[in-house]
Structure 1
Amino acid sequence: MWKDFFYYSKSERRVILFLLVLAVFFLGFYVGAGRWSSQESAPEAKKSPAVDSFIADVKARKHRNYPRRELRNDAAAEQIPVVLSPFDPNTADSVTLRRLGLSAFATRNVLKYRSKGGQFRTPESFARIYGLSEAQYEELYPYIRIPKQQPKYDTALHRASVEKDSIISRVSYKYPEGTVIDLNAADTAELKRIPGIGSGLARMIVAYRNRLGGFYSVSQLQEVPHVGEELNKWFKIESDSLRRLSVNRDNLDRLRAHPYMNFYKAKAIVEYRRKRGKIKSLSRLSLFEEFSEEDLRRLSPYLSFE
C-alpha cells in the first residue's frame, strides 16, 4: 500500500532528479560564495589600519590648509597682558594703549578722535572716550602725562596782537598812574587802557573771569598767565556779583568746569547727593578726601548750598 504513495512514472522521476540536481547546484554555489566573501573580507580587515592612516593624513592636510581661522580665534581669545606705565594719550600708539588695558574698541576711538584733529588737553578729557570704563580711567589716571602747552596767544596770534597794540598805543589814551578800576566791571576796551595790558591779555582776563564767575580778590589775577603782581595796583573789587555754583543742583559737567574744581571733586559731590541727599554746608565738604583746606578756602565764595 505504501508503494502506491512513492510510485512515480518515468517522466516524473526525471523531473524529480532534475530538481534535486538543481538544488544541489544552488546549495553548492551558496556555500562557495559564503567562503569566497569571507576570504575577501579578511584582506579588507587587514587593510583597515592603512585606510585609517590615509583618512588621518587627509584630515591633517585639511587642517594645515585652513589654519587661519583657528589662529584668528586663538588670537582673539588670547588676552594682552596689562602693563601700566606713564603715557601721553595724544601720542601713544595702538600697541601702547592696548598694553595699558584699553579694549580694541576704545583704542580705535582714541585714534579716530586724534585723526580728526582732537587733542586731550587734560586727563579728564581722556575720560570721555567712548568704550573707556570709569574703573579703567581711575586706574590709568595716575599714569596720564600731558605736557603743558603754550597758549595760542604765545604764538603768531600773540605777536600780531603785540604789534597791533604798539601801533594803537601811539594814538590811544592810557590811564595815568594812580587810576584804579573795578576788576569785575571792566571790559576788554577798559582793560587795554591799563599800561602793560594789550588786546590778547585783556581777552584772557575777561575769559578767566567768566569761568570763575567773577573775582573776589585782585590777587586772583596772577592765575592768568603773563599777569604779574605789578598790575594789581590798577584794580579793585567793588561789585559783589559772583556767580556761584549750586552744590545741590548743578550737574557733573557744570561743577567740574569751574577752574577750582576737577572731575574727582565734582564726582564726589554728585555721588554724595545721590546716596545721602543734600550737602548743607562747607563743613560737610571738608570731610571729603578730594578737597584740601586750600581748595575749600578758594572755593567758598563760589559755592551755594541752597
Structure 2
Amino acid sequence: MKSHFQFSNQQRNGIFLLLFIIIVIQCVYMFVDFGNENNYSNNSHIEELRKEIDSLRAAEIENNKPKIYPFNPNYITDYKGYTLGMSNEEIDRLHQFRSNKQWVNSAKDFQKVTQVSDSLLSIISPYFKFPEWVANPKSKTSFTNYNSNVIKSFVQKQDLNKASETSLKKVYGIGEKLAGRIVQYRNRLTGGFHSMVELSEVYGLTPVVIDNVKKEFAVKSPREIKIYNLNTATRDELVLIKYIDYEVANNIIEERTLREGFNSLEELTKVEDFPINKYEIIKLYLHL
C-alpha cells in the first residue's frame, strides 16, 4: 500500500492541479445559471400556449352546456324546469295552474303564475314560443261576420267563385295561407267550384272552418260538370269521375248487376273498395 502513495513532486503538483480544476468546475456549476437566457426566450411562447389551452378548455365547457331551444312554457316538465333553474315550488305552481285547463300566454303571465325571479325570467323568457294565434292575434273586426248572430240567406251571401283572399280571411279560422289555398284550388278548377262540398278538398280546412265559410259564402255561379246516370253509365264513363278507377268502376257495375239496379246513391258505399271518404264528391257526378 505504501508504494501507492509515494509521488514525485511533478505528480503531486498534477494531483493538486486536478483537484483545483474540479473545485472550480463545481463552483461554476453551483453558482452560475446557464438556463436563464433560454428560459427568458421561451416564456412568451409558453404563455401563448397556455392561453390557447385555456381558450380551448373554455370552448369545450361552453359546448358541453345544455342548449336551450324555443319552447312553449305551458308544457314545462319537471326535468325541463330543473334545467332552466326553476325551483320545485315554481314548477308545481305551473302544473297546478295547467291542471285547471288554464294557459300561460305571455312572459308576464308565466311570472305571475310561477313567481319566478326577475333575473331568471330575463334569462329564459327570450326562449318562450307561443302559438301564432297568441303571438299575433287577429283584430276583432276581422271576425265581424262570424260573430254576427244573423243567419244570412242565399241572396245575402257572397259568391264563393268571386271571393277574394281578403274577404275569405274575414272568416274565423281562415288566415292568409288558407285563403290562398282556397283561391288556388278554385283556379285549378275550370269554372270554379260546383258545390260547397268541394271545399273539403282544400288542404287544411277543417269541418268547423268549412261551416264558418258556408255561413258567409255560397256557390252562386257553379261550373258546369257532366252528370252520369248511375244505372246506365258504362265503365269508360264511370272512370271519368274523380276518385273512380277501373277497378272501382268494375265493382260498381257488378254490384249494379247483382242488385238489378241501384235504388239510391247511398248504396254505392256498399261497393267493394269504394272510396267512402270521397262519397260526397263522387255523388256530384251521378244521378238516378
Structure number with greater Rg is: 1
TM-score (norm 2): 0.31
Taking CA–CA contacts closer than 8 Å with sequence separation of 6 or more, which of the two structures ends up with the larger relative contact order? 2
| TM-score when normalising by structure 1 | 0.30
